[in-house]
Amino acid sequence: MKTLLVGLGLTVVLAVVFHSIWGRVAVLPTVVFGGLATAIQLASGSALRGADALPFGGFVAQYGKGMLYRIGGVILIAVAVVVNRDLFPPLPTAFGYLGVLLPLLFLEWRSFR
C-alpha cells in the first residue's frame, strides 16, 4: 500500500513539475509511465515477498525477475517514443518513468533493513 501511495504521489508531483517545464505535452507521458513504474514496482515487490526465506539462489532469481520487469519498462519507453513521438516525447516519457521508479526502488531497499 505504501508503494502504491508513494508512486501515485510522485506521478502527480512530476506531472505538475514537467507541465511547468515542457507544457501540456509532458503530462500524458508522465502519468502513463509514472503509473507503469508504480505497477512494475508493485509486481517486483510481490515477486520478492517471501524470497528472504529462500536460499540465496532463490532470492537472486526472484530479484532478477523484478529487474526484468523494470527493463521491460525501459523497452516500453523506446517503443512508445518510436511509435508516436508526438504523444510520447522522449524526455518527459523517460523522466516520468525513472522519476517514479528510482525512488520506489530505494524505498524497496530500505524495507530490507
Task: Indicate the pLDDT class of residue 49, thresholds 50, 70 and 90.
Answer: confident
pLDDT tens for 93-113 read 999 999 999 999 998 876 665
The half-sphere exposure of 78 on its side-chain side, counting CA atoms within 13 A, is 5
This prediction's pTM: 0.90
- What is the C-alpha separation between 60 and 77, in angstroms, rounded? 26
Task: Indicate the pLDDT class of residue 39, thresholds 50, 70 and 90.
Answer: very high
Q: Pick from 18, 36, 13, 35: which is nearest to 89 by CA?
A: 18
The half-sphere exposure of 66 on its side-chain side, counting CA atoms within 13 A, is 23
Q: Pick from 8, 20, 31, 10: which is nearest to 88 by CA?
A: 31
49: left (phi over 0), alpha (psi -120 to 50) or beta: beta
